[in-house]
Amino acid sequence: MAATTKPKAIGYIRTAYDDGSDARVLRQIAVIENFCLREGIELVTTWRDMCVSGMVPFKERKGGRLVLNTLGTGLYVVVADLTRLGRSLEIIEWARIEIMHVGGDVIIAGD
């Protein structure tokens, strides 16, 4: 019987501002890690954009560029919730298109 390989993913975290607390970041990390563990997905790495507005296009963010440069065919980008990709439907849809263009797809880990 052939061994099956786990799906692989990159986590992506974004915060809009620094309020001096790591609570928002830690919550996003926990949601992503727990989701991947529960679903049997190997979390390869996690990239972050700190103090970056959700109105900034994904490919113009440092972490967004790292995600796009790291992704390969069959990899997923896991986010805690849809607003981590952007704060408008246009920004979110362009982020998804950019991710799919390099062979990946998006998974929303939150409830």
The pLDDT score that the predictor gives to residue 29 is: 95
pLDDT, tens digit, 9 for 90 and up, residues 6-26: 899 999 999 988 776 788 899
What DSSP line would sit under the chain, residue for residue? -PPPPPPEEEEEEE-S---S-SHHHHHHHHHHHHHHHHHT-EEEEEEEE-S--TTS-GGGSHHHHHHHHH--TT-EEEESSGGGT-SSHHHHHHHHHHHHHTT-EEEE---
**73: pLDDT strictly greater than 80:** no
User: Structural domain tally of the chain?
Assistant: 1
78, 48 Cβ separation under 8 angstroms? no
Q: Which value, in Å, is the radius of gyration of the alpha carbons in the chain?
A: 14
Residues 6+ positions from 31 with CB-CB distance below 8 Å: 80, 81, 109, 110
Check pLDDT > 60 for residue 82.
Answer: yes
pLDDT at 75 over 70: yes
The domain containing residue 49 runs over which residues? 8-108
Mean pLDDT of the chain, nearest integer? 91
CATH of the domain at 25: 3.40.50.1390
Task: Say if residue 2's pLDDT is above 70.
Answer: no
pLDDT greater than 80 at residue 4: no
Q: Is residue 1 part of a domain?
A: no
**pLDDT band, very low/low/confident/very high, at 5 (cuts 50, 70, 90):** confident
Is 22 within a domain? yes
In a domain, 3, yes or no: no
Model pTM?
A: 0.91
Share of the chain above pLDDT 90, in %: 80
